Structure formats: C-alpha cells, structure tokens
Amino acid sequence: MPRFKVTLEYEGTRYSGWQVQKNARTVQGELHRALHSVFASAEFELYGSGRTDAGVHALGQVAHLDVTTVLAPEIIRMKVNDKLPPDINIIEVEKAARTFHARHDATARSYLYQVSRRRTALGKRYVWWVGDALDTGRMRSAARLFSGMKDFRSFTDDDPEEKSTKVFIDDFRIEEADDLILFRVCGSHFLWKLVRRLVGVIVEAGRGRLAVEDVPRLFDAGTEIPAKLTAPPSGLFLERVYYAGDQRRSELRPVLSVTHER
C-alpha cells in the first residue's frame, strides 16, 4: 500500500485536540470523514506526528497516510480539502518511503506561543492576553533554565511510570513583535501540557510574582505550581515537525498581528 506524507494546518478552537475520540469532535476525526468520502470503500490508515490538546492550533502538523489509489498527491490534497471544514487545511501531500513514519522519524518539534500585551477582539483565539506589565529580561533568564535535558515530570500530567518525562530542549527564544511577545521552544519531543506550563511559569516570572532563582525548584516532583500556572491553549501553535535533513527555521514571526494602528 503506498504511503504519503501529509502536512496540514488547523485552527484548534472548535476541536477536542488531534486524536480521534468518541463523542468529541477532533482534527483527526474530521480528516477520517473526509478521507472516507474521497476514497469510498478503500481502506486507509492515518498516523499523526503527535497529539495536540483541545484548543491548540497547528501551522505544520505532519501525518502519514497509507491508501491504495491512482490519484496523484496534488489531486489527493485538493479532493480531501474540498471535504474538510474551513478551519482544517492540507498544505501538501507528498509520496513517501514505505518506511517513513510521521512520529517515529521526527527528529525535533517546535512550538510557538503568542502572548498579547493588549486586549484584542480579533486575535483572542490566537493569543493569551496578559494585562500585567511583563519584564522580558526576567522571562528570557527564566527560559534559559529549561534548556538541555531535564526531567519535566512536574510540568506534565503524563504518568512517569508509563513513559519517560525527560525531554531535551535545544532552543527557547522569546522575542517581541509590537504588542505580542512570541515564545518558540524546540525540542526532541513534548509532554502533555508541557509547553503551556513552561509559558505559564515564565510569564509569572515576567510579572515579578516568581523569582527567576526559584524556577529550578519547580523541577521537584511534588510541586503543583507549574500546573496552577498552565497557560491557556489559545496562544499555542505546533509550528513545525522536523525530519532528517530539514533546516531549522531562524525567523520568528507572529501568526496574527494585534498592533493597534493610531
């Protein structure tokens, strides 16, 4: 059965995450419905590079699709997009090696998080509005403490008895773009709620309510502070999934500007 690499984007506001669930609308569930419509009785299998939580968006989610078809990749893309809701869009379909696996072959993943310094009506689904003054210097100092291989068991709801909670973070950048503060974190893989809790802790440091020197204490397994500081899903985007040979992105750009033109 031929295998295809599928790259897609979606706005996660209306969905209960990526993975198919009973009695819940998900991105993968919508893709399954569209694929059933296009390929009729043909059997297919679709595997994502990883899950995204309810309300989280994607700029470059990757999946692999196994299906027997004579349709060219570009025709598959157009036909499936015609059956998808407007907040899910397939960017590209490519032929892939039979051994390619969207999840297991990924070498790194990057996430983008957007914090807005001002209240916004048009961008509220894509940002976390923080009304307090934020010190980006303190935030950058806090972010540096998460680089390298760390045990993030206190930053996730994943069970450390069932899977490793150690993650290697090789890049964590914070930049300002007008009224937005942009976070990009790139690492080997990510745990459930990890990025949102990292952002929440760093914003708390930026507010001045958490001392930067106290951040390392949050790695203690018994603390509940990261969970209490979990940032909302609205500002989070799965930016890109990297595979062998892919070049890392250097630019950090907002998904939507919330600058007020005077």
What is the band of 244 on the pLDDT scale with cuts at 50, 70, 90? Answer: very high
What is the band of 236 on the pLDDT scale with cuts at 50, 70, 90? Answer: very high
User: Is the model's pLDDT at 125 over the cut of 80?
Assistant: yes
User: Is the model's pLDDT at 262 over the cut of 70?
Assistant: no
What is the band of 147 on the pLDDT scale with cuts at 50, 70, 90? Answer: very high
Angle at 53 between CA 52 and CA 54, to 5 degrees: 130
Using a pLDDT cut of 90, give the percent of the chain over it: 81
93-96 contacts, C-beta under 8 A, 24 or more apart:
93/4, 93/5, 93/6, 93/7, 93/65, 94/4, 94/5, 94/7, 95/2, 95/3, 95/4, 95/5, 96/3, 96/4, 96/5, 96/64
- Tell me: the pLDDT tens digits for 177-190? 989 999 999 998 89
Report the pLDDT value the prediction gives residue 258, as an integer from 0 to 100. Answer: 56
What is the band of 252 on the pLDDT scale with cuts at 50, 70, 90? Answer: confident
What is the band of 250 on the pLDDT scale with cuts at 50, 70, 90? Answer: confident
Residue 9 CA to residue 7 CA, distance in Å, equals 7
User: Is the model's pLDDT at 157 over the cut of 90?
Assistant: no
Q: Where are the domains of the chain?
A: 3-96, 108-242
Q: Which residues fall within 8 angstroms of residue 93, CB to CB, at 6 or more apart? A: 4, 5, 6, 7, 65, 73, 74, 76, 77
Closest CA to 14 of 25, 5, 3: 25
CA distances from residue 141 to 103, 172, 190, 248 in whole angstroms, order as listed: 32, 11, 21, 23
What is the band of 50 on the pLDDT scale with cuts at 50, 70, 90? Answer: very high
CB 215 within 8 A of CB 205: yes
Query: Is position 178 annotated as part of the catalytic site?
Result: no
Helix axes 73-83, 27-39, angle to 10 degrees: 120
How high does pLDDT run on average in the chain?
Answer: 93
Tell me the average pLDDT across 237-243.
Answer: 97
Angle at 257 between CA 254 and CA 258, to 5 degrees: 130
User: Which one is predicted more confidently, 262 or 82?
Assistant: 82
User: Is the model's pLDDT at 260 over the cut of 60?
Assistant: no
Domains 3-96 and 108-242 share a fold: yes
pTM of the model: 0.93
Q: Looking at the domain 3-96, which fold is it?
A: Alpha-Beta Plaits (3.30.70)
Residue 127 CA to residue 86 CA, distance in Å, equals 20
Phi, psi of 33 (to 5 degrees): -65, -40
Pick the catalytic residue from 53, 66, 87, 158: 53
CA distances from residue 163 to 31, 148, 156, 159, 160 in whole angstroms, order as listed: 28, 19, 11, 6, 5
Residue 245 CA to residue 196 CA, distance in Å, equals 28
Rg (CA), the chain: 19
Please give the class, per CATH, of domain 108-242.
Answer: alpha beta
Report the pLDDT value the prediction gives residue 158, as an integer from 0 to 100. Answer: 79
